[in-house]
Amino acid sequence: MISIKHLSKTFRNPDGSTLTVLKDVNCDIEKGEVISIIGPSGTGKSTLLRAINMLEPPTGGEIWVDGENILAKGYRLDKMRRRVGMVFQGFNLFDHMTVLRNITYAPMELLKKPEEEARAEAMELLKKVGLAQKADVYPDSLSGGQKQRVAIARALAMHPEVILFDEPTSALDPTMVGEVLSVIRGLAKDGLTMLIVTHEMRFARDVSTRIFFMNEGVIYEDGTPEQIFGHPVRSATKAFVNRIQKLVYEIDSDEFDYLQIHTGLSRFCIKYNLADKMDEAYVLIKEMLFEHLRGIRPLTFRITHAELSGETALDFMVEGRTESPLPRNEAVERLRSRVKGLVEEPTARGFRVKLLI
Ligand code: ADP
Ligand code: MG
C-alpha cells in the first residue's frame, strides 16, 4: 500500500550548514499492518512520518501510495492527505471549535459531506473513543487524554487508509496514557493500517505486526515484535530494547538529603509510568535506609526500571562486604512478604540487597 524507496531528507539551516536526518529509508507497508517505529530521539522518526504525509517534503527518493508516486510532479497532494491521517503528540485540535465541529470540519470542507451525515458519523466516532457526552464542549475543557481521543476520532472521520501517530501519548499525564493506548489497540483489532512512533515498548510489542528500529537516519533493523524485542540481530537494537533506566544516589551518612531522593524518585516514576509504584517505593526506601540498613554507610542506592519487562528494583549496594548487611529479624521477614522479591547477592565489589517492586 505504501512503498518507500531511498527516501532522504536534508535540512538546511539558516547559517547554510546542513543536517541529513533521513539517509536512505526503504520499506513496504501492507494493508492492515500495524507498525511501531522505535529508536533513540533525534534519529528521524518524526521526520519520516512528516515526509510520508508531505508536511516535510523529502529531498530525495520515492513514496508510493496505492501505486502512485506522491513525489511526482503534478500529483495532487490533497488526494494523499485524504488517504493518510495524522495524530500528533500535541493533539493540534482547533481550539475555537467544539469537539463535534473539530471532527466534522474536514469531512464537510474537503469531502463535501452534508452536515447531517457528517454529524451523525462524528457522533459514532465519539462513541467509539468514549466521548459522546463531550460533543458540544470546547477542547479547552478536556483532559490531555480526552483531547487525544478526539484527535483520533477526527483523523478517522476522513476514512484514511493509514493513520500516522507521532508519539501519541508522550505529552500526556501518565494516568491518561492507558485510555489513548486502548483506543489505538481497538483500531488495530479493526484492521486499520497504522504507523506509530512510540516510546511505549510494551505497547509496541503487544499491538504491532512489525517493528521498525530507527537509528542514524535509516531503518536499522525491522522484524516482528518477537524478533526485535526477543532476538534482535544488531547490537544497537539489542542495547536499545533492553535498556534499563537508572537513578543512583550515594549515601555516606545518616544526614543524607532524603527529600532530594523523594523528588528524584517522583520524576523517575512519572517519566517511566510508574506512578502506581511511587508511594510504596518511597516507604520502602525510607524503611531500608533508616531501619534495616541503619548505620551501614557508605552505600549506594539505585532504582532501576527495565522498560520492556516492566521490572522495577530498588538496589542497596555496600562495598567490601561478603555477607548481607540485612539483619535477621522479624521486621525484615515482614518486608520480604511485602515485596515481589528480595534478593541478597554478592557482587564483584561487595554485596547487594535488591527489592523487586
Ligand atoms: P525523532 O523524532 O526521532 O526524535 P526528528 O525527526 O524529530 O527525530 O529529528 C531528527 C533531527 O532533525 C533532529 O536533530 C532535529 O533537530 C532535526 N530537525 C527536525 N526538524 C527540523 C527542521 N525543521 N529544521 C532543522 N532541523 C530539524
Ligand atoms: Mg519525534
- 3-state SS class at 90: coil
**Spans of the chain below 70 pLDDT:** none
At 102 the pLDDT is 97
The CA-based dihedral angle spanning residues 184, 187, 192, 194, taken in that order and rounded to the nearest 10 degrees:
0
8-state DSSP, 139: G
At 154 the pLDDT is 96
Which residue's CA is minimally distant from atom 20 of ligand 1? 47
- 47 CA: nearest ligand 1 atom: 6
At 155 the pLDDT is 96
pLDDT tens-digit readout, 56-96: 999 999 999 888 888 888 888 887 778 899 999 999 999 99
Q: Nearest ligand, CA of residue 41?
A: 1
Q: From ligand 1's centre to the CA of 217, what distance in Å?
A: 10
Q: Is the peptide bond before 57 cis (omega within 30 degrees of 0)?
A: no
Which residue's CA is minimally distant from atom 7 of ligand 1? 46
- 3-state SS class at 318: strand
Pocket probe for ligand 1: among 25, 47, 59, 166, the residue whose CB has the most ligand atoms within 8 Å is: 47
User: At residue 298, what are phi and psi to the nearest 5 degrees?
Assistant: -75, 155
Which amino acid belongs to residue 40?
Answer: P
Give strand pairing partners of 63.
Answer: 4
How far apart, in whole angstroms, are the C-alpha atoms of residue 144 and residue 238? 33
Place of cell 548487611: 325
- 39 CA: nearest ligand 1 atom: 3
* Cell (9 digits) for 184: 489505538
Q: From ligand 1's centre to the CA of 44, what distance in Å?
A: 6
Within 8 A by CB and 6+ apart from 235, the residues are none
Q: From ligand 2's centre to the CA of 1, what distance in Å?
A: 24
How far apart, in whole angstroms, are the C-alpha atoms of residue 226 and residue 249? 35
β-strand 218-223 against 341-346: which pairing, if any? unpaired
Q: Nearest ligand, CA of residue 168?
A: 2
Q: Nearest ligand, CA of residue 44?
A: 1
Which residue's CA is minimally distant from atom 24 of ligand 1? 11
Q: From ligand 1's centre to the CA of 2, what distance in Å?
A: 23
pLDDT tens-digit readout, 8-58: 999 999 999 999 999 999 999 999 999 999 999 999 999 999 999 889 999
Q: From ligand 1's centre to the CA of 21, what distance in Å?
A: 7
Q: From ligand 1's centre to the CA of 42, what distance in Å?
A: 6
Q: From ligand 2's centre to the CA of 171, what distance in Å?
A: 12
Place of cell 493506548: 181
- 50 CA: nearest ligand 1 atom: 6
What is the Cα Rg of the chain in Å? 25
**Among 311, 303, 321, CA closest to 249:** 303
How far apart, in whole angstroms, are the C-alpha atoms of residue 342 and residue 137? 50
Q: Nearest ligand, CA of residue 12?
A: 1
Which residue's CA is minimally distant from atom 21 of ligand 1? 11
At 273 the pLDDT is 80
* Cell (9 digits) for 57: 517534503
Q: From ligand 2's centre to the CA of 198, what distance in Å?
A: 9
Pocket probe for ligand 1: among 13, 19, 56, 88, the residue whose CB has the most ligand atoms within 8 Å is: 19
Q: From ligand 2's centre to the CA of 89, what distance in Å?
A: 9
Pocket probe for ligand 1: among 7, 8, 9, 11, the residue whose CB has the most ligand atoms within 8 Å is: 11
At 1 the pLDDT is 87
- Which residues form ligand 1's pocket by a CB distance below 6 Å? 11, 19, 21, 41-47
